[in-house]
Structure 1
Amino acid sequence: MADANATQRGAPAAHIDSDKLAHEITEQFRQVLSTKRMNELTTRSVNSRSASPAPRDFGTPQPPSLHNAPPPSYSSLRNIPLVPQPPQDPRSIRFKNMLLSLSNMPIRWENPGLLDEALRVVPLEQIYNEAEEESQILQAEAESLGDGKKAAWGYQDCVVRALLRWFKRSFFTWVNNPPCSRCYSPTIAVGMAAPLPDEQARGANQVELYKCSVDGCGVYERYPRYNDAFVLLQTRKGRCGEWANCFSMLCRAVGSRVRWVWNSEDHVWTEVYSVHRKRWIHVDACEEAWDKPRLYTEGWGKKLSYCIAFSVDGAMDVTRRYVRNPTKHGLKRDRAPEAVLLYIMDEIRAMRRSNLSKQDKFRLEGEDMRENRELRHYVISSIATEVSKINPADILSGRQGPPRSDPDAEKALEGRQSGATEWIRARGEGGRGTPNQQNPRDQHPR
């Protein structure tokens, strides 16, 4: 092109490279053709939207080209990965401080002297004999199915299951209102009292006060709420807080990795890691429940917001394991934004794993990734279950019939077993079909 212009201006003609000129003309033709096709697509897009324009298109001229169109808005995207954000507002900061304090519970069980004392209390021969027998039965059942089937639970799982039965049936006692120490009559709760020096030294931060129900007696009973697992080995009584504390420590003593699960709706329980199944198993010592994560929602009829699991290796938000249908069983999570909660979990994990080797950190990160996949699977399975309950005949007829039953949910229909009937009803944990009267003033702390 430059040579042609020079010729037109009277300059001496130069040798013209025909191959180069043909290449340039071809590229120009391609650009013209591409621009023409893009304009045609733009025109078709504008015409297709003109019949039913979006609300933002009313009264605004359509762009002549896609190149001049404004960038798309991503404000409506909800499923993009969350980016951890540090807490900024006072409410989020208080939530962070509370979770950091709760994360110290599993650290207390790493005391070798405490674990040795726990092993003196546990009938190890009985526990291991029951575990060996159950393990052999499960292995025989798996072999009878053929095709290299794997046993339902491993030997260490059976050890914890045997420990769970012994703890519930023979070792620990549930306490609602302590009986009168003079006449053994029932007592009535009258409030809280400050802990005495010896009670505070043994780990009691609060003391419940009860009065004998007999008019002529008038004795007051103190019930310290101990949170020291060593003290609980001697008292052997309490409610779910003491049960989960002591039982989790005993699981640690027999060699299992444990979690202490805090629930914002006033309950706590345990999770034990199964090497055989490569996942965390729900265990509730109060109910002698093993691997029943839907117990609290489908069983007790509760709604949950936060379920946070704390271990010596960190923390994990495991709410999705226990709330399979957030629409039916989920409560509003407004203590902190989700990105802030993710930041808090990462911070606790980093703090607990700071002194670990690279190999151990890599192994724990792999477990975290596997657990995250498991928790996402629960969400997907819940959606698929709800869709499968839809009856095609109802869609065709336009009527809504009774939903199909969920076999997995039917397994967890039982209400709470531990605690007095009135106490269970007051907490709203009687299960479906039981009138729940949730009144915070009538509830004992966990």
Structure 2
Amino acid sequence: MADRNTLRRGAETPNPMTDEVAKDLTERWRQKLSTTRMNELQSRSSSPAPRGFASQTPHSAPPPSYSSLRNIPLVPMPPQDHKQLRFKNLMHSLSNMPCRWENPGLLDEALKAIPLEQIYNEAEEESQIFKAEAESLGTGKKPAWGYQDCVVRALLRWFKRSFFTWVNNPPCSQCYSPTIAYGMAAPLPDERARSATQVELYKCSVEECGCYERFPRYNDAFVLLQTRKGRCGEWANCFSMLCRAVGSRVRWVWNSEDHVWTEVYSVHRKRWIHVDSCEEAWDRPRLYTEGWGKKIAYCVAFSADGATDVTRRYVRNILKYGLERTRVPEAVLHYIIAEIRANRRANMSKQDKFRLQGEDMREERELRYNYITAIAQEICKINPEDILKPGNGAGNRRADPDAQKAAEGRQSGEAEWIRRRGEGGRGTPGHQNENPPDLPPR
């Protein structure tokens, strides 16, 4: 037993030779790693300097700033100052408009106001015409528009021609004479209860009458179903709600200058379609620039699913029709739009989020394609004579068919109608900026 315990104690005693060998191997490994790192640092420091900087000392000139690549890629950035926070609050306030149209009771009331039999009969007839045209072009051709698109087109015609009324100066309720703008007034309790945030005041042009007329600017689509009058803010609000009532997905497009309109998603085309109820315009996004000659800075589309900057859809020629975007940096605008999207899609299923992300990617490709196509068209208009001999051949530019499409067939875009409405753009005779650009009613 004693010998066995002695052997056990001898086995437990550390061997000094083994410890020394382990320490030696560890130290040699550390030296090897240190030598390898030093060699790598020396090889990096001895790499050739960029051309033009070899003869300069480290303190003789600063390194290149690469300012052209400063915002590539564009990283969303939260608002930093009061001006940017104010713009963020405006965007979030405007994004609430489409959410009001998701009320089932409101949509039921809207369906009661729509002559559904007339709308669907016209849509069926037009849909059959598009199918016949596609078949006449050959097998495999797709109709220009689907059935639901034809429903919205029929709704657009009925809304403009029979349902809603454009109002600049309301007539006098006593003698039915024209009125003159007198100023603004505070909304009465009844008007405020019906969502009127501002009231325009008009005075009868007849001195003997001298009555005053109030024109509340209502933001509630349910109230607009009863009043059925207003300007582009009321038109876009009510018409977008009616499109939602017949089952279409809609957007409310805010323009930073003086107009608002609608976008409807076409399942047949798999893209968003420009619709302006004031102009009875369908898929004519270049109407405001090439058609009216307006200059635009921001166009932001709001829906129940989020927000999207769609300026590139409506402004193809930035140099000619684009205004400088100075309200917030582009990175802040991306942050605000992403924030609105996240808020609207927070409670959606993963499947719905994935579907909407796919739509966002397709729309981004579409906007890029439109922009690149517009640049290519401008380049194709250049004649060799214009380059070799400036001033010769200036009148021989090739006509742009899209610009002609933007201007043709516009009943409400005639000069007199534009002058009356004040939709001629800034700097155009007859333009009236009746409301501040940050307010929804227009």
What TM-score do you get using the length of structure 1 for normalisation? 0.81
Q: Quick one: distance in 1 between partners of 2:178 and 2:366?
A: 47
For residues 293-304 of structure 1, the aligned pairs below 5 Å read 293-304=285-296
Tell me which residue corresponds to 2:272: 280
Q: CA RMSD in A?
A: 2.8
Tell me which residue corresponds to 1:25: none
Tell me which residue corresponds to 2:404: 410
Residue 416 of structure 2 is aligned to residue 424 of structure 1 = no
Q: Quick one: distance in 1 between partners of 2:418 and 2:391?
A: 41
Residue 310 of structure 2 is aligned to residue 318 of structure 1 = yes
The Cα shift of 1:382 comes to 1.3
Partner secondary structure for residue 300 of structure 1:
coil
Q: Quick one: distance in 1 between partners of 2:407 and 2:425?
A: 10
User: Residue type matched to 2:154 in 1?
Assistant: A
Structure 1 contact 271–281 (Cα < 8 Å) conserved: yes
Structure 2 contact 258–433 (Cα < 8 Å) conserved: no
For residues 88-107 of structure 1, the aligned pairs below 5 Å read 88-107=80-99
CA 1:133/1:440 → structure 2, altered by over 3 Å: closer, same or farther? Answer: closer
1:211-268 Cα deviation digits (max 9, x unpaired): 1101111111111111110011111111000000000000000000000000010211
1:370-394 Cα deviation digits (max 9, x unpaired): 0001111111011101100000233
What is the percentage of aligned positions where both structures have the same residue? 74
Q: Quick one: distance in 2 between partners of 1:337 and 1:391?
A: 37
Residue 143 of structure 2 is aligned to residue 151 of structure 1 = yes
For residues 58-207 of structure 1, the aligned pairs below 5 Å read 61=55, 73-77=65-69, 80-207=72-199
Q: Give unpaired runs (5+ residues) of structure 1.
A: 1-33, 50-56, 64-68
Structure 1 contact 127–163 (Cα < 8 Å) conserved: yes
User: Residue type matched to 1:409 in 2?
Assistant: A
Structure 2 contact 168–421 (Cα < 8 Å) conserved: no
Partner secondary structure for residue 211 of structure 1:
strand
Residue 234 of structure 2 is aligned to residue 242 of structure 1 = yes
Residue 375 of structure 2 is aligned to residue 383 of structure 1 = yes
Tell me which residue corresponds to 1:15: none
Q: Quick one: distance in 2 between partners of 1:339 and 1:419?
A: 39
The Cα shift of 1:425 comes to 6.6
Q: Quick one: distance in 2 between partners of 1:437 and 1:62?
A: 62
User: Residue type matched to 1:168 in 2?
Assistant: K
Partner secondary structure for residue 335 of structure 1:
coil
CA 1:395/1:211 → structure 2, altered by over 3 Å: closer, same or farther? Answer: same
Structure 1 contact 174–418 (Cα < 8 Å) conserved: no
CA 1:324/1:307 → structure 2, altered by over 3 Å: closer, same or farther? Answer: same
Q: Quick one: distance in 1 between partners of 2:433 and 2:349?
A: 46
1:344-377 Cα deviation digits (max 9, x unpaired): 0000000000000000000000000000011111
Structure 1 contact 259–310 (Cα < 8 Å) conserved: yes
CA 1:435/1:205 → structure 2, altered by over 3 Å: closer, same or farther? Answer: closer
1:138-177 Cα deviation digits (max 9, x unpaired): 0010011114010000000000000000000010011010
User: Which region of structure 1 is more displaced relative to structure 2, 341-350 or 374-383?
Assistant: 374-383
CA 1:443/1:427 → structure 2, altered by over 3 Å: closer, same or farther? Answer: farther
Partner secondary structure for residue 298 of structure 1:
coil
Between the two proteins, the alignment pairs up a number of residues equal to 390
Q: Quick one: distance in 2 between partners of 1:213 and 1:322?
A: 39
Tell me which residue corresponds to 1:14: none
User: Residue type matched to 2:407 in 1?
Assistant: L
Residue 355 of structure 2 is aligned to residue 363 of structure 1 = yes
1:253-300 Cα deviation digits (max 9, x unpaired): 000000000001021100000000000000000000000000001111
The Cα shift of 1:72 comes to 5.7
Structure 1 contact 176–419 (Cα < 8 Å) conserved: no
Q: Quick one: distance in 1 between partners of 2:432 and 2:152?
A: 35
Q: Quick one: distance in 2 between partners of 1:140 and 1:278?
A: 21
User: Which region of structure 1 is more displaced relative to structure 2, 100-109 or 396-405?
Assistant: 396-405
What TM-score do you get using the length of structure 2 for normalisation? 0.82
Q: Quick one: distance in 2 between partners of 1:328 and 1:265?
A: 16
Q: Quick one: distance in 2 between partners of 1:78 and 1:404?
A: 37
Q: Quick one: distance in 1 between partners of 2:248 and 2:312?
A: 23
Displaced runs of 4+ in structure 1, greater than 3 A?
69-73, 396-400, 418-423, 425-428, 437-445
Partner secondary structure for residue 97 of structure 1:
helix
1:63-107 Cα deviation digits (max 9, x unpaired): 8xxxxx997643222672210000011111000000000000000
User: Residue type matched to 1:135 in 2?
Assistant: S
The Cα shift of 1:440 comes to 4.4
Q: Quick one: distance in 2 between partners of 1:81 and 1:62?
A: 31
Q: Give unpaired runs (5+ residues) of structure 2.
A: 1-42
The Cα shift of 1:396 comes to 3.2
